[in-house]
Amino acid sequence: MSTYHTSVLLREVVEALRIEKDHWYIDATLGGGGHSLAIIQQGGRVLGVDQDADSISYVEDKFKVQNSKFKIGVDVKLVRGNFRDIDKLVAEAEIEAVSGILYDLGVSSHQIDTPERGFSFQREGPLDMRMSSELGVTAADLVNGLTKNELYELFITLGEEYNARAICDRIISARGVKPIVTTSELAELIRGPKRTFAKTDPATKVFQALRIAVNDELHGLTESLPKALALLSTGGRLAVISFHSLEDRIVKNVFKEFEEKNLGIIVTKKPIIPSDLEQEENRRSRSAKLRVFEKK
């Protein structure tokens, strides 16, 4: 079975959650199931949640291969859903006491590496970017339907793209001739006439902004974190891995608000980042930051 996704900060997450035998933990972003499997191997039980049907299917097959020491449906429950509904998903799974919850907010390697998902500017594919096929609006809908000012605000706010105005000009001009429907078409427009660039591809921030908008990621995270804290037992821990400043800022501020309300303590005064070795072995881990909160 090919590698679906390499889990980031695996050892650090397991240590942060302080896994106890037969206690329930929620992997709110299942992905390839790496974090979930590590929790199970430490004796914990897992409710794995993901809105991507590919993820659920992959992990079911993966865990069947591993299924000598744990039972799917008993020690592991896998459900398709959005973590913004985490309270409902836990209730439906009939889990009462939760000792830890993990959010890994990165896009899975499988999603990036599957051209037809439209997440990558390095691969030719439809301009989609939906993490769930049930979502109605694609990135192409936004690129071709938003006004110039709306695109500018999106790229500035969700992408922190300083060159947003010039990029918007090129998009508006191009879509006046024909709709922009592929990842490569958009990437070329973003890059513009300049074909040489430093380490970061100029398309990175705009693709990030579109992905966040299509999947309503920031609102979903803001809604979900208080629900997650309410689900935790006393002493339970909430761990969040973020990959860009917008997500990290939300997590940092929400945890600070939790602490100010005397709901618990921030365990990580500074975020935990991957080791130099992990960053060398997994390039996509380089921007990861782990923050942990413990419920009072």
Q: What is the mean pLDDT of residues 6-34?
A: 96
268/270 Cα distance (integer angstroms): 5
User: Has domain 115-213 been given CATH number 1.10.3720.10?
Assistant: no
Q: What pLDDT does 3 receive?
A: 58
107 pLDDT more than 90: no
Q: What pLDDT does 65 receive?
A: 75
Mean pLDDT, all residues of the chain: 93
Q: What is the mean pLDDT of residues 89-117?
A: 91
Q: What pLDDT does 2 receive?
A: 44
Fold of 10-110+217-295: Rossmann fold (3.40.50)
Q: What is the mean pLDDT of residues 200-229?
A: 96
**At a CB cut-off of 8 Å and minimum separation 6, what does 52 contact?**
80, 108, 111, 131, 132
- Domains of the chain by residue range: 10-110+217-295, 115-213
Q: What pLDDT does 66 receive?
A: 67
Tens of pLDDT, residues 231-289: 999 999 999 999 999 999 999 999 999 999 999 999 999 999 999 999 999 988 999 99
49/28 Cα distance (integer angstroms): 5
292/269 Cα distance (integer angstroms): 9
Give percent of the chain above pLDDT 90.
Answer: 82
- When mean pLDDT is compared across 39-43, 152-156, 172-176, the lowest value belongs to 39-43
Write down the pTM of the prediction: 0.93
Tens of pLDDT, residues 43-88: 999 999 999 999 999 999 888 876 667 778 888 999 999 999 999 9
Q: What is the mean pLDDT of residues 159-163?
A: 95
195 pLDDT more than 90: no
27 pLDDT more than 60: yes
**At a CB cut-off of 8 Å and minimum separation 6, what does 15 contact?**
none
Q: What pLDDT does 186 receive?
A: 97
19/196 Cα distance (integer angstroms): 47
1 falls in which pLDDT band (50, 70, 90)?
very low
Burial of 3 (0-12, 13-18, 19+ CB in 10 A): exposed
